[in-house]
Amino acid sequence: MTERGRDQMDFRGMITRGTGYVAASVFAAFMTTSAIADISVRFDEGAPKDRFTFENVGSCPISASKLVLDISGSKAGLIFDTTGSGAGVEVFQPLEIVNGSKSLTAVTPVKDGDSEITLSIADLQPGAKIAFTIDVDDTAGGREITVSGSEIEGALVTFSNKGKTATAALSSSATALIKTGAC
């Protein structure tokens, strides 16, 4: 077998041989990825409760951070309907953390007609989720008690940590991905 033939067949040998070293270095650089802590956001219309889910889809933990959900910029002028009297219509549901409560240090109180919620995160491991239910109504004159994905389009979610922020808007599919950057 020629010297070149051995380089192609023996990866360990490539590392110590001339041009094979360059190929192995390029391969190693290609395989190296930076750690990220991106957050997936999903809204699910439900009856009688709507649900927001935030998932750490990155590879490193998130700590000492805040998530702010602001639905005021949505296409349908959405609000939270938390009581039987006030700005909402018909069915109402107060805010209820249904997943990941141990990951939180605080949640802002939500009054009927509010459009913003702040979640203070203590620790959210990769793959972990925070979810809450609440009633969301539109104020644009459509079917006020049902919110479709296109109606929530434009709602913003802002992540902040150590003075840095990243914002994503929910799409017509009622999802968003906050690119928080490397950990």
25-45 pLDDT, tens digit per residue, is: 333 333 445 677 799 999 998
Which domains does the chain carry?
A: 1-32 (no CATH), 39-178 (2.60.40)
For 86-139, the pLDDT digits (tens) are: 655 567 889 999 999 999 999 999 999 999 999 999 999 999 999 999 999 877
Spell out where the chain has E strands: 39-44, 50-56, 62-70, 79-80, 96-99, 104-107, 116-124, 129-134, 136-137, 156-161, 164-169, 175-178
Average pLDDT for 158-163: 94
Q: What is the mean pLDDT of the chain?
A: 80
Q: What is the DSSP letter of 138?
A: -
